[in-house]
Amino acid sequence: MDGVDELVAKGIADPNRLGIGGWSNGGFMTEYAITHTTRFKAAVAEAAHSDFFSLFGTSPMRSGLLLAFGTTPYLSRQRYDESSPITNVRECKTPTLVLHGINDDGVPVSQGYEFHYALKSLGVDTDMVIYPREAHSIDEPEHEIDLQMRVVAWFDRYLKN
């Protein structure tokens, strides 16, 4: 957020037209940001992990989560919940596009469904696109083009005056 403040202060970024987006850990950081501030007018979360508790039980990323949190969520759920965007999703007002590959085993597509459904149930404008045959990265040229077009269209919809 300090970097965003600096860009706004220098007149590089318009504080009324801020967008945020990222893939994988960047998608997590996007979801975390939009559940802690209403500063962003649009977001795109791609292959993002939104709930570390459920991720622990459904992903081979377990060893990384153990290193990061120092324990399992079954012994210290609070640590996992404090870092999970889903915990504060009720604070999110940012229109969010969720993108995911159906065969992502690192960040299972259930993470995307969980965040998307939460936003939808809270009345936040959201859309979700699941790419068939794709894993954690989108590799089919047609899907790559579709993804880029959707990202541009989403940001255009919410950030253009």
Tell me the CATH number at 102: 3.40.50.1820
Q: Is residue 44 part of a domain?
A: yes
Which residue range(s) make up the domain with 120? 11-50+87-159
- pLDDT reported for residue 2: 94
Position 38 in a domain: yes
57 lies in some domain: no
Q: Which residues of the chain have pLDDT under 50?
A: none
| pLDDT value of residue 67 | 96
Is 68 among the domain residues? no
With respect to residue 101, please indicate whether it lies within any of the assigned structural domains: yes
Please report the pLDDT score of residue 41 as a whole number.
98
Evaluate whether residue 2 is within a structural domain.
no
**Which of 82, 1, 70 has its CA nearest to residue 40?**
1
* Residue at 29 is within a domain: yes
- Structurally, the chain folds into a number of domains equal to 1
Q: Where are the alpha helices (DSSP H) in the chain?
A: 2-9, 25-34, 52-58, 62-69, 77-83, 109-121, 141-159
